[in-house]
Structure 1
Amino acid sequence: MLRNGLEPWHLLIVAIVVIVLFGSKKLPDTARALGKSMRILKSEAKAMKDENASAPAASAPTPVEPTAVRTSAETATERPPATAG
């Protein structure tokens, strides 16, 4: 029954129903508003996708190099620098 999806006569019936519901005078305005809404939706979706793609790279932790840790034995054996005096 619906093996082929929408056939041309299905689309014709849908077009007739739309014309009857909205009237021929309102169709251009409706189509324009629908197109504008689709453009806005597309641009917002692209902005969100770009934002999500760049967010993890910006918030990734930077690797920290280990610093030398001195033990108390090492600090006890160090001598202060000699002062000229």
Structure 2
Amino acid sequence: MGLGGPELIMIGVVVLLLFGGKKLPELMRGLGKGIKEFKNAKDGVSEDTVEVVPVKLPVSEKST
């Protein structure tokens, strides 16, 4: 049970009627950005992600 060609065309016509031709590019741009952000979040990749790696410091023994 998926979306075929006729269903997608019908959805496109309804969206065009609801929002008009001038708003359609803006809506598609927003949809594309949303999909991109979702994929980045799903993959765990983002510009502000920083990987922290623990570093072992040498330990010096104190002699008394």
**TM-score interval for Structure 1 and Structure 2 normalised by the shorter chain:** 0.5 to 0.7
Alpha-carbon RMSD: 2.0
Q: Structure 1 residue aligned with 2:35, among 25, 34, 38?
A: 38
Query: Gaps (5+ residues) in structure 2?
Result: 46-64
Pairing 1:45-56 to 2, within 5 Å after superposition: 45-47=42-44
Larger Rg: 1
Spell out, residue by residue over 1:37-77, the C-alpha distance to the aligned partner (whole angstroms, 9 max, x if none).
Answer: 111111111117xxxxxxxxxxxxxxxxxxxxxxxxxxxxx
Describe the shift of the 1:8–1:39 C-alpha distance in structure 2 as closer, same or farther (beyond 3 A).
closer
**What is the percentage of aligned positions where both structures have the same residue?**
38
* Structure 2 counterpart of 1:18: 15
Structure 1: gaps (5+ residues): 49-85
Q: TM-score scaled by structure 1?
A: 0.44
Partner of 1:69: none
Q: CA deviation at 1:22?
A: 1.1
TM-score normalized by structure 2? 0.57
How many corresponding residue pairs? 45
